Structure 1
Amino acid sequence: MLILFVIYVFLFRKFLVYKQKRQDASNDINLPPGSTGWPIIGESFELVNSIRKGVPEKFISDRARAYSSEIFKTSLFFQPVAVFCSPAGHKFLFSNENKLVRVWWPSFVEKLFPSIQLTSGEEERKKFRTSLPGFLKLEALQRNVGVMDSAAKEHLETRLHNMKEVMVSPLVTNFTFSLACRLFLSINDPARVAKFLEPFSKLVDGIMSVPIDLPGTTFNGAIKASKFIREEIHSIIKQRKIDLADNKASPTQDILSIMLLSSDENGEFTSDLSIVDRILSLLIGGHQTSSNALTAIVKYLAEFPHFYNEVLREQTEIANSKAPGELLTWADIQKMKYSWNVASETMRLEPLVPGSFKEVVADFTYLGYSVPKGWKIYWTSGSTHKNPQYFPDPEKFDPSRFEGEGPVPYTFVPFGGGPRMCPGREYARILILVFMHHMVRNCKWEKSLPDEKNLQPVQAKELQIRLHPHKC
C-alpha cells in the first residue's frame, strides 16, 4: 500500500506538470502534427518497447507515415517532444547545437549518472573536450594502433584456441571492455577488469529498460551497479592523484591523467564527480557500442560468405605486406576500405545508439511549424538509415552503398554530427577494423542456428557461431 501511495503521489505530481505544459503548448496553433499519446506517460512505453525489441526506427517510421516525414510531435518521459526524422532535420539540429538546441537527458538518467546535467553544460563540455586532444584525437590514436593490434591478436588467439563453437557477445565484449579499461584507466589486470564487467552489463541493461526504480527491477539494479562503478572510479582517481604527485604516473598515460591535469582558460580543473561520470560514459561508449557493432558484423559475415571472402582478401593482402611480427599501423587502417564499408552497412542496419534528446533553448520555426522554448527534441539515425527514399531496399545488406561518394549527406549519421558528434568515432573505427583483421584471418565461421536471421542487439547475447580455423 505504501508503494502504491508513493507511485500515486509521483504520478499525480507529474500529471500536474504535464497538464501545465500541455496548456502552455496549446496556445501555439502552429505546433507540429502528431499525438501526445496517453495522459501523463505519453508514448514513452511505445518508444522503450521499440528499443527493447531492437527496432527503434519503427517508433519513428509509424508516426512519420501518419503525420509528417519531416517532423511530428509526441510526449516522452513527461515532456512535449518534437521528433526530427529527415536528413534536413539532422542538418538543422547539428548546425544549431548550442544556438537553438542543447543536449538534454530525461530525469531518470540522473539516477544512473548523477552529474549528467551538470556535465552537459556548455562550459563543462568545453572543458571536457579540451582533454580529448591528448588521447582520443587522431594523432594519439595513430600511436595506439599497435596497442589495439597486439591486444586483439592475443585475445582471439587465446579465446579461440581449440574452440569449435563460441558465444560471440562474451568474445567481443571482453575484448572491447578490457581494451577500454587499459587505454582509459590503465587497468591491465584481468581480474580487476572482470570485477567491473558484470556491473557494467547491469548498467547497460538498465539504460535500455523501463525506468521504474523499485526493488527487483532492471532499472533498480542498474542504479546499484552505477553506484558501485562510480565508487571504484573514485578510488582510482584518488590513487592516481597520489601517483601523479609522486611522479609514479605519467600525465599522458591515459585519458584519466589527462582529465585530472586539464584546466580551462580560467585555470579551473574539472570536479572529481564530473570526471567519474565522464569516464563512466566513455567506458560505455568505448565498449558497449563497439561490442554491438562487432557482434552484428560477425553475424552478417556468417550469413553472407561472399562479403566474408572479400574482407578476408583485403585483410590478407595487408597482412602479407607486413614483416613477420610487425604490428598494424595507421597506414594499414587506411587501406581497409572494403572492411569499413561492411562495418558501415552494419551500423546502418543496426545503429550504435537508439537516439538522443535535445532541449529547445529559444523559440524557432521549422518548415512552418513552431517549436517552443522548453520543448524537447528527439532524433535518431534510424529515421534515415532504413528509409527507402535514401537507401533502396533498406533491409538488404549491401556494403556497396558506401562505395564512391557514398550516401546522401546527413542520411548516414551513426556518430551524430555537429559539435556533439561522438568524440570516440575514430577510436571505434580503429577498434572495429583491427578486430575484423584478426577475426577473419583466424577462422571462418557459421551460425550455430542458421535459421536465426533477425538477430537484433537485444538478442545479441544469444549469437553462437561454429568455427572453421584456416589451415596453415
Structure 2
Amino acid sequence: MDSTLIFSLILLILSFFYLLFLRKPSSNPDTPPGSTGWPIVGENINLGVLGPPKFIQKRMKRFSNDVFKTSLLGEKMAFFCGPQGNKFVFTNENKLLTSWWPKSVTKVLLFTEVIDQDQKIVAPILANTIHDILKPEALKKYVSVMDTMARQHLETDWAPYTEVKVHPLSQKYMFELACKLFMDEEDDERITKVLDSFKTATHGMISVPIDFPGTAYNRAMKGGKVLRDGLVKIIETRRKEMLESKEIVRDDVLSQMLLVKKEDGTLLNEMEISNNIIGLLVASYETSSVAITFVLKHLAEHPYVYDKVYEEQMEILKSKQPGELLTWDDIDKMKYSWNVARESLRLAPPSQGSFREALTDFKYAGFTIPKGWKIFWNVNTTNNDPKYFPNPEKFDPSRFEGSGPAPFSFVPFGGGPRMCPGKEYARIEILVFMHNFVTKFKLEKVNPYEKVLYLSTPVPAEGLPVRLYPHSKH
C-alpha cells in the first residue's frame, strides 16, 4: 500500500471521528449560510474539481446571492458576492477589513520571519516606492524594453516552428520580462532555474496545506526554498556590486529596493527584498502569462475579432519606420485590442480575487461576520452573472465600449486603496505582446476541445497548442 493511499485512509478515519464526536455547531447562528466541508480539507477539493466559477455559482444559488461561508486553506471564510460585495470590501479597507495572506501561501513563497504580525509583506515605505515605479509616467520608459523583448522572444521561440504551446511560452516570456525590469537579470540559466522553482511553488501553494512527503504542498515547500535561495544570491551579488561602485549602476526595481531605508534608518535586508520581489513576480508574471494565453485562445476561436485586432495593429505598424519601437502614444491607440483583452480577462480571470481579515465583528447583508474571519472577494461572482453581462458565455468585446459594465461588476485588478498598482503595467505588457503577435502570425487551435483546469489560475489542460501561420513580410 503506497504512502498516498495510507495517508488518505488516515485522513478519512480522522474525519469520521471528528464528525461523529468533536464537531460543534457554530456559536453564532447569525453567521452567513454555507458549508465548511470536511475537517482539515474543508472545501478545497470541491473548489479544485468544480473550478471557481461553478463552485461559486452553486453556493450562491443554494445559500445566498450576497455572502456565503466556506472553509479553504484551513480557514473559515466568507465569500462576498456581487458588485455590492466588491464595493463593501474595497471601501472598508483598514476600517472593518485588513489585507491578509493565507499562511499556507506565505510559508511556501516567503521568508515568514520578516513578515509582520498583520501578514503585511510590503512595508509602507516600500509600497510607496513600488507605486511610484508603476505609475504611468514611470512606465513610459518600459514600453520600448517590452517591445524589444517581445520581438526577440517571438523571433527565437515562436517563428522557427509551425506548432507551439502558448502557455509555457507565455510564461517564459513574462518571467524573462519581469526579471529584466525588476532585477535587470538576463542570465538564461539562472532565470530558468528560478522559473522552474517558482512554477513548482505556485502550483502547490493553494492545495491542502499538509506538508507530507508526496503531496503537492510538500513539493511547493521545496520549490519555494529553491526560489528564495536563488533570489537571495541575486540580491547579495547586486548589493556587492553597488557597494563596490558606490552608485546605482542599474535602473531597475531591485537597485531602488537596495536603497530603501526602514523607519529605524536601516536598509532592507536580503530576506525582506526577496519577499517583495516575489510579490511583484506573483502579481506580474503569473497573471500576465495567463492573460496572454487566453487572449490568444480567444483570438484563435473568433476570427472576426482577430481580424479587427489585426487591422488596428497594422495601422499602428504602418505609421512606424522600419524597426522603430512602440511608444506610449501607440499604446493609447489600441482601444479595440484592449477591449478584447478585457473581455478575455472577464471570461478567464487570471487573478481570482484576494483575501481580507475582519478587524471586528460587523454586519453585512443581515449576517454577522465575526472578528478574525477571513473574507474573500472573487471576480467570478459578477463576471458570469447575466444581470451584468447578458449572455455571459459569449465572447463580446463590445461590452466595454462606451461607459462599459456597471460599477464594481468588472474588477480584474481589485479596487479601493488596495487596487493592484500594476494595472497599467499589465495593460502595457499585454498590448505590446498582442501587437507583435498579430502583426506576425495568424493562429489555429490544434485541439478545439481542450479543457481548462484550475490550479492557482485557469490554465489550458494541454498548454494551448496552436498552429502558426506567418504573415507575408510587409
TM-score by shorter chain over 0.5: yes
Match of 2:59 in 1: 63
2:260 equivalent among 259, 262, 268 = 262
Q: Report the counterpart of residue 102 of structure 1 in structure 2.
A: 98
The normalised TM-score by structure 2 is 0.90
Q: What is the rounded CA distance, in whole Å, between the counterparts of 2:247 and 2:151 in structure 1?
A: 27
User: Does structure 2 retain, via aligned residues, the 8 Å contact 1:301–1:308?
Assistant: yes
Whether the 8 Å contact between 2:100 and 2:119 is mirrored in structure 1 is: no
Alignment partner for residue 354 of structure 1, among 319, 340, 352?
352
> 1:39, CA displacement in angstroms?
4.0
Q: Is the 8 A contact 1:169 1:460 kept in 2?
A: no
Q: Give the match for residue 49 of structure 1.
A: 49
- Residue from 103, 108, 112 that aligns with 2:108: 112
1:32 — aligned with what?
32
Worse-superposed segment, 407-416 or 318-327: 318-327
Note the aligned Cα RMSD (angstroms): 2.8
Quote the Cα distance in structure 2 between the aligned partners of 1:469 and 1:123. 44
Q: Is the 8 A contact 1:41 1:77 kept in 2?
A: yes
**Counterpart selection for 2:328 from 305, 327, 330:** 330
Judge conservation of contact 2:343–2:396 (CA < 8 Å) in 1. yes
The 1:4–1:317 alpha-carbon spacing in structure 2 relative to 1, beyond 3 Å, is closer
3-state secondary structure, aligned to 1:261: coil
Distance in 2 of aligned mates of 1:344 and 1:245: 44
Q: Which of 260, 284, 308 is the matching residue for 1:286?
A: 284
Counterpart position of 2:396: 398
Q: Quick one: percent identity of the two aligned structures?
A: 48
CA deviation after TM superposition for structure 1 residue 123, in Å: 9.1
Q: Which residue of 1 aligns with 2:201?
A: 203
For 1:200 and 1:77, the matched residues in 2 are separated by 20
- Code of the aligned partner of 1:118: I
Q: How many angstroms does 1:252 deviate by?
A: 6.0
Aligned to 1:458: 459
Residue 439 of structure 1 corresponds to 437
- Residue 130 of structure 2 aligns to a residue whose secondary structure is coil
SS at 1:246 equivalent: helix
- Long gaps (5+) in structure 1: none
Deviations 1:389-443 (A, max 9, x none): 1111111111111111111111111111122222222111111100000000001
Is 1:471 aligned with 2:472? Answer: yes
1:232 and 2:230 correspond: yes
SS in 1 for 2:460: helix
CA contact (8 A) 1:297 1:343 kept: yes
- May I ask how many residue pairs the two structures share in their alignment? 462
1:169 deviates by 1.7
Map residues 367-446 of structure 1 onto 2, 5 A cutoff.
367-446=365-444
Asked if residue 91 in structure 1 is aligned to residue 87 in structure 2, the reply is yes
TM-fit CA distance, 1:195: 2.2
**Unaligned runs of at least 5 residues, structure 2:** none
> CA 1:124 to 1:251, structure 2 compared with 1: closer, same or farther past 3 Å?
farther
1:122-133 to structure 2, matched below 5 A, reads 124-133=122-131
Q: CA deviation at 1:122?
A: 5.7
CA offset at residue 248 of structure 1? Answer: 6.8
Taking structure 1 as reference, are residues 48 and 397 closer, same or farther at Cα in structure 2, changes over 3 Å only? Answer: same
User: Secondary structure of 1:89's match?
Assistant: helix
Letter in 1 for 2:347: L
How much has 1:449 moved relative to structure 2?
A: 2.1
Equivalents in 2 of 1:306, 1:430: separation in Å?
23
| Structure 1 residues 197-245: Cα deviation after superposition (integer angstroms, max 9, x where no partner) | 2222212211343433222222212211110111111111112111112
Structure 2 counterpart SS, 1:468: strand
CA contact (8 A) 2:166 2:464 kept: yes
TM-score by length of 1: 0.90
Cα pair distance change 1:163/1:321, threshold 3 Å = same
CA spacing shift, 1:453–1:214, aligned 2, 3 Å: closer
1:40–1:78 contact (8 Å) kept in structure 2: yes
Retained in 1: the 8 A contact 2:353–2:414? no
Question: How many Å separate the matches in 1 of 2:133 and 2:452?
Answer: 37
Q: Tell me the secondary structure at the aligned position of residue 458 of structure 1.
A: strand
SS at match of 2:258: helix
Alignment of 1:316 onto 2:314: yes
